[in-house]
Structure 1
């Protein structure tokens, strides 16, 4: 005879679910704690056990809010699945789930999601979610009156909070030191980290005034030019996930930049990013505010593209990634996948294109911009797919893979470290090729324009250092690999700025310089322009 189903009160079911999540679905947290040198003693083991009990109690308190006959099962299932997926990504890539990472999750498109799917993910989620989900399906809930259940839940929540307070007092010295020295640990508490981050994003969204962003550059205008001067043509290339220390222009051992080296570009070796993810860096690097003021701002502002367009320039954003994060909504823009004339070799069956697609038909796209604006000047932004992970091997075509053997999976821990580096370096070498093509395209237009190229990546990437992969750690604790980005400038031969900019190649710079330097290169001024942040300003008149 089959066993009769177990009968439980909804509060007891919440307790069982919280215990499972705390013990098993938080394994990345317990693993991170166990690696800390201060946890190697008996005192450390006591701290970990107390921390685990506190996590269970907090999860139980939150889940108990939904402990009724009609809501506990679906909410418990939601908690279990959220924790299982969170555990996989934190454990597999060494990331944490904070508001910035949650922003990345919410803005991830179908192509990026596909790159994150793997057999390992299915296995981890099944191991962490299948047993409790089976138990939820099998268990029978005991009937109880609404008021009695409400009273039971209230007592359970108060008892849980009291237990957490008691644990905090008992372990306060160790807890305060650990949280102060290893702040990222708070974003490993699963799935409370996800719920907290969603709450922060919702609160921030409500706090910001509704309506369009604040206008900037209302006085923007092009600087006077000589009668025979040619209009500027600036190609601004936004790289993706590129590390400065993997550019051979900066001394890296692998020849990842052979084509750019032949074109005598200037490489700036000490550039820091605004953030550690596209969602954080991209809006910040196009802002006039700088990283600190941008993150503290309680109102959205227009950006660099608006200022250039307000100055009368032709502006175009071309995207080969997950969109412009709202930057290009007020200027002409297009995505590579929308071009039906692209050769089949540049895009796969699912619509993902190699970065060469950004240059395909560029003359045709340029000709669609208003002629009167092009006569003043043109700025084209190319947003690359670059070295977007974890499927680095997809970012370079088969005929452009100088480094082998190459890791060909998105489960990075399964790769030999050398093959992982090869896959990443192949993507950097392909970016080198695309940038070289862009330089050649600009060279062919010197007769009727004053061309220039500026390339800078949005953020860097961890490639297994300290068991960290990908990017997105909170900026305050992010390793240099995630914030040290490459920046490259090309100018025509004998350009008056070349020698001056060459002297700044080892100067500490950041994304804060981008807004003002682009205005400098384009010959545009507005009240938001800061001369001190313009790399070209100290070079004198030209």
Structure 2
């Protein structure tokens, strides 16, 4: 017998030894996923069940049987290996973000992923991520393809998944019923526990996202501005209006020195007559949710994706009231907000000064604004959607010459940076936003031919490693204040304050009030004296700081 024949025989014998039943392969795969892709799940579980190892074991077995019940219907010869390989690869991806960054893959995160761009997502594809996927995904997936699966009769092939699913559900229910009250309390109080389970949470979230998109596939947008008109502030013989609304990105209120932060991140704004509202909560923790929510007429508790896509927003109301409204974007798009108004994307502008790295810093806005302002002859609202402080590549959000705080983290892999380096890089983005806002305000202040104002508010905050969390997008129920407290800053020219009869000291007195994105829709309408039943005076910050019966035009 030749060497080749001997090797072929040994390989054939090995294939026979390794042959397993479909259910056996499913159990082996689940065991692997439990062991290799659920470090956070086990860590939280150990905390939750401290001193109660039997309860922990019972609950873990129940989760295992529920997973088996979900996997078993895919145990047919045509679907078994593709399904298991997909689950292994999916768990490798999601466990990386869960275990290294604390990112939970819920429905909102799935939505955020689906609307992101290559430019934004490429920074998350690091060497650490790729090595993790290869070790915990590609290698075990290859092993699954190599394993020989036993073949059964048609009856057994179809009957086994049904039987295994039924038995698994029954066993899981029996285990949970042994201490149902305690288990129910844990699931109610520690939602982060099961949210960390891979691949359970991503699969459930994907199903929820698919259902949401299916429900809204044929949605017709409903107008909400039927009665919107300009108020008496728009009298004759006055200057055209230019109000700039800056939609910030990933800026958290805690790192603004205007709000008491110990690092001087806002020296330029501190020298200007601005009002900084220091207790503002966001509508969500990710752009895909917060941005459409903050411009809608729904508060955070009422808002849903379905409502957002089926109703017009405050920009539509302003437009129909007779103002010219535009959206300028240096981020990942307007999320549907500018579907009915003019818009322009500046993200990939051909500008050597601001776009040298292939992405533009927010300095790109000023170059465009200087040309645009000279052409304004009608009342205008301009929305600038910043790239702001979007991570993890904070160092790309500002020019190298603007790196004030050093040493700064200059990689997307935080494990190679100290907490101070991460904080320095992030603070540099806030300082650069300070510079951009100050430049914009100073430019507006010099436009004597216009009545000008600026309102800045970020869409959500950011975690910088506190409690093991990085970036943003945590489910709101467990999101720390770092992800939900956002800066909001107001500046008004004298001409604007006079035209709209706004008392700045009154506005400054509101700086410490408890506010949220819920106020934005109504406050923009109040600020710009747009008359409509859609405006709720209780949520309009300007309602108590102006006398609408006494308007001085100029």
- Is the TM-score greater than 0.5? yes
Conserved 8 A contact 1:232-1:522: no
Residue of structure 2 equivalent to 1:358: 365
One of 189, 192, 202 as aligned partner of 2:210: 202
CA–CA separation in structure 2 for the residues paired with 1:197 and 1:91: 18
Tell me if 1:253 matches 2:262.
Answer: yes
- Aligned ranges 1:265-414 → 2 under 5 Å: 265-295=274-304, 300-337=310-347, 339-340=349-350, 342=351, 344-349=352-357, 351-365=358-372, 374-375=377-378, 377-414=379-416
Give 1:171 deviation, angstroms: 3.7
Q: Who is 2:222 aligned against? A: 214
Change (3 A) 1:241 1:129: same
Q: Deviations over 1:54-106 (max 9, x none)?
A: 33322222222111222111111000000110100011111211111111111
What is the match of residue 4 of structure 2? none
CA distance in 1, matches of 2:382, 2:418: 39
Alpha-carbon offset, residue 346 of structure 1: 0.8
Distance 1:487 1:175 in 2: 42
* C-alpha contact (below 8 Å) 1:501/1:536 kept by paired residues: yes
Match of 2:467 in 1: 466
Paired with 1:76 and 1:398, the residues of 2 have a C-alpha distance of: 46
State the secondary structure of the residue aligned to 2:262: coil
* 8 Å CA contact retained: 1:387, 1:424: yes
Residue 396 of structure 1 aligns to a residue whose secondary structure is coil
Deviation of 1:444 (Å): 2.1
Alpha-carbon offset, residue 187 of structure 1: 1.5
1:67 correspondence with 2:75: yes
Name the residue aligned to 1:451. Answer: 452
Per the alignment, residue 109 of structure 1 pairs with 117
**Aligned partners of 1:186, 1:156: CA distance in 2, in Å?**
23
SS in 1 for 2:225: coil
**Which moves more between the two structures, 399-408 or 177-186?**
177-186
**Deviation (angstroms), 1:229:** 2.5
Q: Structure 2 CA distance, aligned partners of 1:359 and 1:47?
A: 61
Structure 2 SS opposite 1:516: helix
Partner of 1:18: 30
Q: Which residue of 1 aligns with 2:170?
A: 162
Give the distance between the partners of 1:13 and 1:252, measured in 2 at CA.
55
| C-alpha distance in 1 between matches for 2:96 and 2:38 | 10
Cα deviation, 1:93-129, whole Å, max 9, x if unaligned, reads 1121111111111112111211111222123222322
Indicate the RMSD between aligned Cα atoms, in angstroms: 1.9
Rounded to whole Å, the distance in 2 between the matches of 1:406 and 1:478 is 26
Contact kept in structure 1, 2:219 and 2:310, CA below 8 Å: no
Shift, 1:294, TM fit: 1.6
Structure 1 unaligned segments of length 5 or more: list them.
none
Deviates more, 1:193-202 or 1:79-88: 193-202
Label 1:304 to 1:182 Cα distance change in 2 as closer, same or farther (>3 A).
same
Q: Structure 1 length normalisation: TM-score?
A: 0.93
Please state how far the C-alpha of 1:239 moved relative to its aligned partner: 0.5
Q: Which moved more, 1:454-463 or 1:16-25?
A: 16-25
Alpha-carbon distance between aligned partners in 1 of 2:106 and 2:119, rounded to the nearest angstrom = 22
- Which whole-Å CA distance do the structure 2 matches of 1:449 and 1:365 have between them? 12
Cα displacement string for residues 269-328 of structure 1 (whole angstroms, at most 9, x for unaligned residues): 111111111111111100112212223965721001111111111111011111111001
Q: Distance in 2 between matches of 1:153 and 1:209?
A: 34
Tell me how far apart the structure 2 counterparts of residues 480 and 13 of structure 1 sit (CA, whole Å). 44
Partner of 1:240: 249
Deviates most, 108-117 or 397-406: 108-117
Structure 2, unpaired ranges of 5+: 1-6
> Post-superposition shift, 1:417?
0.8
